[in-house]
Amino acid sequence: MRILDIRERSLPISRYAGPAPAGGLTTSVVAIRIDTGGSGQPITGYGYASVGRYAQGGLIRERFAPRLLKAADGLVGEDGGLDPFKAWQAMMAGEKSGGHGERCVAVGALDMALWDAAAKAAGLPLHAFLSRRLGTTPLPASKVRVYASGGYPYPRDDLASLAQEMRCFADLGFRHAKMKIGSAGLDQDLRRIEAALTAWGAADHLAVDAMNAYGPAEGLEATARLSPLGLWWFEDICDPLDFETQSTLSSAYAPPIGAGEALFSAAEAKLLARHGGLRPERDVLLFDPVHCYGLPGYLEILDTMTAAGWTRQAFWPHGGHLFGLHLAAALGLGGAEVTPFAFDPFRGLADVTVIADGYASLPQAPGIGFETNAALRRLFEEIAG
């Protein structure tokens, strides 16, 4: 078994439905071709850098892919197949602690592709492969609790478009949803929430994401005005590393709070647990497995937070991707995010996925199952050549 080739491409993505990019966001897509050592054809694993950050092409091509290729013959596990944990150690060789910056996302994108390839080589869907590899019990579920994410401010007809988006979420079978606030002032935020609730229904099935927009004063005003609504959760209220403000706002806001999306390491997670004032019995953790150096880094965060009193059910992986869906099943997490319309072509899950009463079925194809999404299959095959 050895890695033959690694390819990366940076792509524009949009927060809105439709193929036209908007907002300047990009992501990196990677394809890792592996010779399994048998008589069959090489296997290609696919991954991408999740959403919400930016492409990591330079780091991937100049730093981490060369390390993988250099170690290509030393990444075999005890079963004779590709060992993504050994590959992760090869990528991180010589890296210093701290200064996570964007390198964590570059490593995470490659890590996703490595797990895809390893599960394909074993002939198993990723959730089943991980359950066997990690020894998780009970066996992964056949379906995962999910919520629909979107609700970005529209450039035109914002309130009407937001309400229509919420109705579409419900029609697709989702029972919980999340929308964005924080960019247009609290008065407009409340108007957007009212429009969403008129279309959606119960406030305790709607979460809001401020995208770390509020400072201490604005955050206190926001928690005071949103608290009576009884929302499902209030996410990313302030700067992710301002644990003092996070703790103050947690004390001021009785309903659930979501945090962790913009933290990328176990060390940062430990600070959040110790100084963020969060309440394990009600709040939720939204770390993105790809942005946290991939699955090995995510497992470190999982261990850190469970040691601090959190249950695995508090974890809802950010990103809206199939990778997070598999992890939620294999690791027994609370559920996963889905973006039904945003971030084309990475929106949605597999074409065969069934959303029913707030649960998504798991793809049963070997690997992550990107090939079961027609748009993603075309994209990845083009990149792989």
> What are the catalytic residues?
180, 318
d(CA 246, CA 223): 11
**Residue 335, token pair as written in the block:** 């559920």
Residue with tokens 């004390």: 251
Residues 159, 156: Cα–Cα separation, whole Å:
9
Instruction: Determine the angle formed by the axes of helices 103-122 and 126-134, rounding to 10 degrees.
Output: 90
Measured CA to CA, the distance from residue 197 to residue 31 in angstroms comes to 41
C-alpha dihedral (17, 23, 24, 28), degrees to nearest 10: -40
Q: Which of 268, 283, 359, 358 is nearest to 315 (CA)?
A: 283
* DSSP type of residue 224: H
CB 88 within 8 A of CB 64: no
**40 burial class (0-12, 13-18, 19+ CB within 10 angstroms)?**
exposed
CB 350 within 8 A of CB 375: no
CA dist 43 and 3 (Å) reads: 10
Q: Is-contact 149 107, C-beta < 8 A?
A: no
User: For residue 314, which of 335, 298, 294, 300 has the smallest C-alpha distance?
Assistant: 335
| Alpha helix segments (H runs only) across the chain | 57-59, 65-70, 84-91, 103-122, 126-134, 158-172, 186-200, 216-226, 243-252, 266-275, 294-307, 322-331, 374-384
Instruction: Give the Cα separation of 356 and 17 in Å (integer).
Output: 22
